[in-house]
Amino acid sequence: MKKISLLLIVAMLVMVMSACTSNSKTPGAGQTEPGTAQPEGSSDPVTLKIVYKDEGTANPVSVKFFETLEKSLAEDEGLNVKFELVDLAQGSYAENLNLLLLGGTIPDIIYFQGGDQQIADQGLLEDLTPYIEKSTYIKDIIEPHNQTRMASYPYLLWIKPLAPKTPVIRADWFNAMESSKALMENPTVDNYYAFFKELVEKKPGEGKPSYALTAAGDIAEINFIFNTAFGLDTTWLKKEDGTYEYSKVSQKEKEKLTFYNKLYKEGLLDPQFITKQWDTKEDAFYKGEAAVITGTAGKIIDLYDGRMQELGGEDANLIVLPPAKGEAQGFGATDVTKESRGLAISSQSPHKDVAFKVFDYLASPKGQMLDRLGFEDEHYKVVDGKIELNEKYYSEWYARFWEPTEIQSETPLKTPLLGEPGTESLKMAGDFYTEDNNFIIPEQFIANWDAMNNLYKEYSTDFITGKKDLSQFDQFVEAWNAAGGAEITKYANENIK
């Protein structure tokens, strides 16, 4: 990875030099102001390359969606657009996206799920602020937390509900456990442990589950359940003397890792969670190897629910579990410094104005009809002047772009947008909402910050799996401080208000 990172930096520098000579914030010949349509009289379609996780040419639903979007843009906005889906290899989306950019392919529209800041720091992503200000629809649907994030980091747009990852389990297994009632009434860490223990011992799925809990690659997803219970409720914890320390080097972190190690040693945590990807994690859940996984609150939980019922029958509908309770309770504080994922427009694109026009159309009532509801007669029907969503909508469809709290539809809805588990997960997320006190890492600390995070991941994994004894936690703290932690802790104490 060090070799790839070095090559990436060199490639980025070359593109920045190109940007400085060929691109400026002032529209030049052949360019239009932000938010305006393509020039009048243009008959040739504008080709927009788009790279988006899971939205490739091998996905027939994706192909149909973008073909339908092309027709809608032409009919409703007079925009002659042709979308070109850029395929990525299977595996880590963030890594493969960086390899794509490294190879010189810079799509007009880019979906990021991490790895965007180093690209933005090279001047390769467009500041969307002036486009939003001049927009027709986006400025009216953007959520307050989006505005806060865009103010400090104006390169990623992601208009979605605040949605942490929430734990779910199939109802038939949940109802078969004697410890279920205690868990729901008082979801302490001890009651979670007892519930996990009973699941693996009782095996309600005819010899399954093999383990209670799995995750995709690291403990980040598990932390949504347990961090706050251990007092890890912000990135920077305020100590008794009024100063701040990084939560991952605190004694509270050590206590949490001790609990994770207990789950691992007793076979309650998937022994292969480190190598799991998102798809193999979900596959383990659907096959019954794992009883509990976390998924993004809202529509994703509904998709899990639909798939699980398809495989296990109606009794396998999903139940949303509460966050663990201890020193506090919640799914963790929400980062409001920047979007952790979202859609960007390349600053190198010759069609930035048209790309944003697509964004704005998808925020309109007609655009929302397509993006939020899917295809008529396939995902919904209009019955007596109202939209009636069907099971295929609940089990398959998701908004690829914008998902504001309120949908502005030209035709009223007869059925709700979310099913019961999706609705419950969003309600629970709202009930436990708090803001984090983290900050965007200054450029001078980024290289060290990445190294420090890798150091944490290495040590925490070894602590959980028993390769290192937790008596060595202080050694980790010393190594973290030596790797740059002391400097960034000083910065945090000078800047956190």
Domain ranges, ordered by start, for the chain: 46-161+338-370, 165-331+438-495
pLDDT of residue 40: 43
pLDDT at 175: 97
Top-level CATH class of 165-331+438-495? alpha beta
- Stretch 452-480: mean pLDDT, rounded? 97
Contact (Cβ atoms closer than 8 angstroms) between residue 24 and residue 344:
no
Q: What is the structure's pLDDT at 42?
A: 54
- Compute the average pLDDT of residues 7-33: 40
Mean pLDDT of the 44-62 span: 94
What sign results for the dihedral spanned by CA atoms 403, 407, 410, 413?
positive
Residues 275-292: what's their mean pLDDT? 95
Of the listed ranges 24-28, 142-146, 342-346, 470-474, the least confidently predicted one is 24-28
Amino acid sitting at position 50: I
- What burial class does residue 439 get, using C-beta atoms within 10 Å of its C-beta: 0-12 exposed, 13-18 middle, 19+ buried? middle
Largest CA distance in the chain: 72
Rounded mean pLDDT of 96-112? 91
Q: Mean of the pLDDT values across residues 209-234? A: 96
Specify the pLDDT at position 90.
Answer: 84
Look at the block and give the residue holding tokens 């938010």: 35
User: What fold, for 46-161+338-370?
Assistant: D-Maltodextrin-Binding Protein; domain 2 (3.40.190)
Phi and psi dihedrals of 256, rounded to 5? -65, -45
Structure tokens of 165? 């990852």
The alpha carbon of residue 166 and the mean position of all alpha carbons in its chain are separated, in whole angstroms, by 12
pLDDT surpasses 70 at 35: no
Average pLDDT for 232-245: 96
Per CATH, 46-161+338-370 and 165-331+438-495 having the same topology is answered: yes
Residue 495 burial (CB count, 10 A): 10
Q: Which pLDDT band, with edges at 50, 70 and 90, does 36 fall under?
A: very low
